[in-house]
Structure 1
Amino acid sequence: MLLQTTARSVLAPLVRLLFRAEVRGGENIPRQGPVILAVNHLSVLDSFVVPLVAPRPVAFLAKAEYFRQPGVKGWLLRTVLTAVDAVPVPRGGHRAAQAALDAALGVLAAGQAFGIHPEGSRSRDGRLYRGRTGVAWLALASGAPVVPVAVGGTDRIQPVGARLPRPGRLTVHFGTPLRFTPPPTGAAGGRARRAATDEIMAAIRELSGQQPAEEYNSLSTPG
């Protein structure tokens, strides 16, 4: 816990300084209780930046193997992941996907904040892709509000394939929380998850100004 607090206290102001971070709407995040932050996905940096500029800790999922990297580089990666409350999960296959959702539900059940990228994979062309319904499943199963989040500039700071961040400026805009009523089971539940996901993505698009893509990201599996 001491390492986590120390790392966060160092990294948070560093991110704001180095990347001239403009953060808006932090007051929209409830200070207590479970909440889901639904974030657009432009760069690997997104999952690190949001927890460091949010007014409360936010847990994102991270590949379990990231926590097992050897040497000094591995130690640094584990330190950063710990600072942003990353939750290790296995990757690959339907069973792993359900395990990831169960881990996220556990974070929310503990009254914490959880961050998720509904698009799945990073956008390669800057468009906002159709959201996967896991975000709605979490919201409806937990009763937690969903705060739409738009991150900008991270795709220029660390584009896909870049090993290290570049100088640049980023923005993070937290929107008004959305609340959803749990639906009946069965087909109606599936339609409710799709409708809730589409509403969340529309809110993200309004904040980010991204051009919408009507299809799923080709690197993602539709949900």
Structure 2
Amino acid sequence: MFYTFMSRVVAPILRLLFRSRVEGVENVPSGGPLIVASNHLSFIDSFIIPLALPRKVTYIAKADYFGQPGIKGRFVHWFLTTLGHVPVKRGARRAAMGALEQGLEILAEDDSAFAIYPEGTRSLDGRLYRGRTGIGWLVLASGAKVLPIGLEGTDRIQPIGSSWPRIGPRATVRIGEPMDFSHYRGLPPAKARRAITDEIIETIQKLSGQDYTGTYNDGADAG
């Protein structure tokens, strides 16, 4: 009921306000398990992507998002919880693995789509960082295809440190073709996870046009 309301009533209003340009929506599979992988520039990314896709998307979300104070915090907690988003504490390996295992459970459901940011956290400087291999583990464990997405301009709608999004700047959501990694199953697991992750990041870079650092994003997320 809530998702139907969001997609039919709230989504068109938000699309009008944020004026997001969506390219490649025809690449979104109509059914089957799907891992949505995107670069991460702004808090609002987790709102923009579900508005752009014609399928319900469930996210891993940083645990801090669920505990923000004030009216905004209560709204965000309600919104993310209602959508079934999974909280994870960044930097806590056990918690992160637990979230990936929950993602695996979600992907086992019919026609489910589970979204993840391979970089692990938002980019503070607009560049694209090396991917964490959790997404490679999830691909191998689930057998799901990956839908790569490149975001551009979401950091102008809600820059890091900004409490509320701005009305005026325009974002672009570029959706690539689904990626099938079944051919990596013959490789040693660690090598396969790294190869899958690197290929996804490379594809995201082509879609987003970002400069690639080749290093992990270990900087503090300013929120």
TM bracket, shorter-chain basis = 0.7 to 0.9
- Name the SS for the 1:60 alignment partner: strand
Distance 1:159 1:122 in 2: 11
Q: CA deviation at 1:98?
A: 1.1
Q: Deviations over 1:98-153 (max 9, x none)?
A: 11111111111113001100001111111110011111111111110011101111
Task: Note closer, same or farther for the CA distance 1:166–1:73 as it changes in structure 2 (3 Å cut).
Answer: closer
The number of residue pairs the alignment matches comes to 217
- Name the SS for the 2:37 alignment partner: strand
Distance 2:95 2:29 in 1: 30
Q: Does 1:54 align with 2:53?
A: yes
Distance 1:174 1:84 in 2: 22
Task: Note closer, same or farther for the CA distance 1:190–1:16 as it changes in structure 2 (3 Å cut).
Answer: same
Determine the structure 2 residue equivalent to 1:120. Answer: 120
Q: Which residue, 183, 186, 209 being the options, matches 2:185?
A: 183
Q: CA deviation at 1:214?
A: 0.9
Residues 82-93 of structure 1 aligned to structure 2 (within 5 Å): 82=81, 84-89=83-88, 93=92
Residues 1-223 of structure 1 aligned to structure 2 (within 5 Å): 2-63=1-62, 66-67=65-66, 72-82=71-81, 84-89=83-88, 93-111=92-110, 112-167=112-167, 168-181=169-182, 183-184=185-186, 188-219=188-219
Q: TM-score, normalised by structure 2?
A: 0.88
Q: CA deviation at 1:3?
A: 3.0
Structure 2 runs not aligned, ≥5 long: none
Given that residues 11 and 52 in structure 1 are in contact (C-alpha distance below 8 angstroms), is that contact kept between their aligned partners in structure 2? no
Structure 1 runs not aligned, ≥5 long: none
Q: Percent identity?
A: 52
- How big is the alpha-carbon RMSD for the aligned residues of Structure 1 and Structure 2? 2.2
Q: Deviations over 1:27-79 (max 9, x none)?
A: 21111110001100000111111012101011102245755668754552244
Q: TM-score, normalised by structure 1?
A: 0.88
- Name the SS for the 2:99 alignment partner: helix
Given that residues 157 and 169 in structure 1 are in contact (C-alpha distance below 8 angstroms), is that contact kept between their aligned partners in structure 2? yes
- Name the SS for the 2:177 alignment partner: coil
Given that residues 119 and 129 in structure 1 are in contact (C-alpha distance below 8 angstroms), is that contact kept between their aligned partners in structure 2? yes
Given that residues 48 and 84 in structure 1 are in contact (C-alpha distance below 8 angstroms), is that contact kept between their aligned partners in structure 2? no
